[in-house]
Chains A and B, each alone.
Chain A
């Protein structure tokens, strides 16, 4: 618990943010292509984890179904790229908006309940979507998924997104933009109400805030950004399959948020990168890498509940 006053509307973009942005922007110059592939995926997952942090870290809405946002985005952008002439950035944007709109309906139902029931309903919705993805063959390709999703050219004949590095920049711009957007959101009056809901929802309601509306809004934003991540993933990987909507993946995203440090935005991005890196390294040695990651997760929950970002900033403060 920090005693110092937190200023809600801190508009300054810290120097550290610019440094990180520049380093990431220069990464393609120094890294080999396979590393760029990993980095691109890490940034996409980072965006997904950060979007979940709005719900989990800032509003204490624990979602066990965030893969639904990712899967929705992934399938939607894949479908649009395969079956419509829409240019890639627009297809990605449309998929993100779709995820946000669907989330309004989902959240409207889920926010009828609180706590564990809320979490269970998010899980149920995600599994419902999983079932749809499995059965709706004409649109989702069922168990085969959507394959051969192209990175189309355009708009206006722009072909830069077709290259691996060009696509990396698209992802980077989306992540940095989403980060600035989220930062502004959590520092705004709206964000102050989210904090109120996180700490004491009954009190927030009795102060005259329609808390349910705020919760629906934050779920919609969270899903739109999570959908954006998914929409960026399917053209990157070239496919979308049911694994992207599966509950196991929802759990993994939640772990990324908690290991990275919830309620910090940056932490979950680091958590996603950490998760990917560890999966990559551990799976070279053992097939049961998830077991070891589970141990690491338990360690974090017990000894460093503030997560990676908490550890880093504590070190910096001393």
Chain B
């Protein structure tokens, strides 16, 4: 059984079908990339998986459990941690505090309204570990809002990682980065994934990033899946090339 399964997932906004009958299976330990041109429905798909918007039809199964009807925070509690296409952090908190708050969300006493030294210690430990894995330890004491854009993108990944997710969902991790920043970020992520143990679903439109990171690729075009295979096969797929080259070839 796959860890994350999408079955006939569809989202319509009025007459527009953003996501059209998408099915997908993500196995444990797999790094799966969803690619496609702008407007292909990648981010919409993410919103459906994480419960930010409800699906029109179809369902998401996580570890055999149907997620329909669960809100976004409940899906996160179930083990899906995500980053956003537009960086979303706590700008006035330090990088360490950002990760601490993220890790705290997974502790049973996260809501404790008094004291909490033990909760903070446990959460900080997990947070610091995540910072280290993304090479951000030297930035730990800086307010997140003052980090470079590249470090902010990585910090968001660190926050998701600090939650020890069962599936890590990354929405365009290199969005808005310069060429050098992209290189650094991609190498950092490649190192992270090489350690194994993570199941990753990432959305990206930069093909080089995808071929460097992903072990499986799903290609979307106008809301539908047009290819789903290992990178070498996807690269040579006629339909994929047509979609990326603009259409009617």
Which A residues form the contact surface with B (CB < 8 A)?
1-6, 8-9, 11, 184-185, 187-193, 195-196, 199-200, 202-211, 214, 217
When distances are taken between beta carbons in the complex, the residues of chain A under 8 Å from B141 are 3-5
29 contacts between A and B (CB under 8 A): A1-B92, A1-B143, A1-B145, A3-B94, A5-B94, A6-B97, A184-B114, A185-B114, A189-B110, A190-B111, A190-B112, A192-B116, A193-B101, A193-B104, A193-B111, A199-B90, A199-B92, A203-B84, A203-B89, A203-B90, A204-B101, A205-B73, A206-B72, A206-B73, A206-B76, A206-B88, A207-B81, A207-B163, A208-B81
Interface size class of B (residues with CB under 8 A): 35 or more
Contact of A5 among B82, B96, B102, B163 (CB under 8 A): B96
**B24 close to chain A: CB less than 8 A:** no
**B142 close to chain A: CB less than 8 A:** yes
- Other A-B pairs, 10, CB within 8 Å; known A206-B88, A207-B101: A1-B146, A8-B116, A189-B107, A192-B100, A195-B90, A196-B101, A203-B90, A205-B72, A206-B73, A207-B73
When distances are taken between beta carbons in the complex, the residues of chain A under 8 Å from B84 are 203, 206
Interface residues of B in 113-144 (CB under 8 A from A): 113-117, 119-120, 123, 141-143
Q: Is the CB of B146 within 8 A of A192?
A: no
When distances are taken between beta carbons in the complex, the residues of chain A under 8 Å from B76 are 206-208
- Complexed CA–CA distance, A74 and B105 (Å): 38
**A188-B73 CB under 8 A given contacts A1-B143, A1-B146, A196-B90:** no
**B148 close to chain A: CB less than 8 A:** no
When distances are taken between beta carbons in the complex, the residues of chain B under 8 Å from A206 are 50, 52, 72-73, 76, 82, 84, 88
Q: Is the CB of A200 within 8 A of B120?
A: no
When distances are taken between beta carbons in the complex, the residues of chain B under 8 Å from A6 are 94, 97
**B235 close to chain A: CB less than 8 A:** no
- Complexed CA–CA distance, A209 and B104 (Å): 10
Contact of A214 among B52, B111, B123 (CB under 8 A): B111
Q: Is the CB of B113 within 8 A of A190?
A: yes
Q: Is the CB of B112 within 8 A of A189?
A: yes
Q: Is the CB of A199 within 8 A of B93?
A: yes
Q: Is the CB of A207 within 8 A of B142?
A: no
- Complexed CA–CA distance, A36 and B94 (Å): 44
Q: Is the CB of B104 within 8 A of A189?
A: yes
**B69 close to chain A: CB less than 8 A:** no
Q: Is the CB of B92 within 8 A of A189?
A: no
Measured CB to CB, the nearest residue on chain A to B112 is A189
When distances are taken between beta carbons in the complex, the residues of chain B under 8 Å from A4 are 141
Which B residues form the contact surface with A (CB < 8 A)?
50, 52, 72-74, 76-77, 81-82, 84, 88-94, 96-97, 100-102, 104-107, 109-117, 119-120, 123, 141-143, 145-146, 159, 163
When distances are taken between beta carbons in the complex, the residues of chain B under 8 Å from A188 are 112-116
When distances are taken between beta carbons in the complex, the residues of chain B under 8 Å from A193 are 101, 104, 110-111
Q: Is the CB of A184 within 8 A of B115?
A: yes
Measured CB to CB, the nearest residue on chain B to A11 is B115
Q: Is the CB of A209 within 8 A of B105?
A: yes
Q: Is the CB of B91 within 8 A of A207?
A: no
- Complexed CA–CA distance, A214 and B111 (Å): 8
In the assembled complex, how far is the CB of residue B173 from the closest CB belonging to chain A, in whole angstroms?
16
Closest 7 CB pairs of A and B: A208-B76, A190-B113, A208-B105, A199-B90, A189-B116, A203-B88, A207-B105
When distances are taken between beta carbons in the complex, the residues of chain B under 8 Å from A185 are 113-114
In the assembled complex, how far is the CB of residue B70 from the closest CB belonging to chain A, in whole angstroms?
11
In the assembled complex, how far is the CB of residue A207 from the closest CB belonging to chain B, in whole angstroms?
5
- Complexed CA–CA distance, A195 and B93 (Å): 9
When distances are taken between beta carbons in the complex, the residues of chain A under 8 Å from B113 are 184-185, 188-191, 217
In the assembled complex, how far is the CB of residue A183 from the closest CB belonging to chain B, in whole angstroms?
10
Measured CB to CB, the nearest residue on chain A to B145 is A1
When distances are taken between beta carbons in the complex, the residues of chain B under 8 Å from A199 are 90-93
When distances are taken between beta carbons in the complex, the residues of chain A under 8 Å from B117 are 9, 11
- Complexed CA–CA distance, A4 and B123 (Å): 19
- Complexed CA–CA distance, A281 and B138 (Å): 53
In the assembled complex, how far is the CB of residue A312 from the closest CB belonging to chain B, in whole angstroms?
21
When distances are taken between beta carbons in the complex, the residues of chain B under 8 Å from A211 are 73
